[in-house]
Amino acid sequence: MRIVTVSLLGTTLIAAGMLAPATGQATSTGHGGIAVEPGTVRPGERVRVSVPGCAGARVASEVFAGRAVDGTATVKPDATPSTYAVVAHCGSRKLTGEVRVAGRLAWPDLLPSHH
């Protein structure tokens, strides 16, 4: 019985760890904060950036391909896996957050195995 409990707990923890990087908000600093969703993306994907309480904030990051428009930005297709700062300017306030870029999936990881 104890082995089943330990196995179930281990499986639950592994599943929770696999889900965590794919969801969530970016961390933020400053009054009010900045939210980047999803917090982890792959090169070429889009993110939603919101600054609660600040309509029309200017949002930028070195990993974005161009400027964020209407709260949406595209990560550069050649972005290197890393964590990048996201900065929003709202009037005289400067708010920061971050977005994590994960590596691309390799073709063998995408295709089903025939074992």
Domains of the chain in sequence order: 25-104 (2.60.40.10)
Beta strands in 1-115 (DSSP E): 28-29, 35-37, 40-41, 46-50, 58-60, 72-74, 82-90, 93-101
pLDDT tens for 42-71 read 999 999 999 888 888 889 999 999 888 888
Q: Which of 36, 34, 40 is nearest to 95 (CA)?
A: 34
Helix (H, G, I), strand (E, B) or coil at 26: coil
Q: How many other β-carbons are positioned within 10 Å of the β-carbon of residue 105?
A: 9
pLDDT tens for 4-55 read 444 544 444 444 444 444 333 334 333 347 899 998 999 999 999 998 888 8
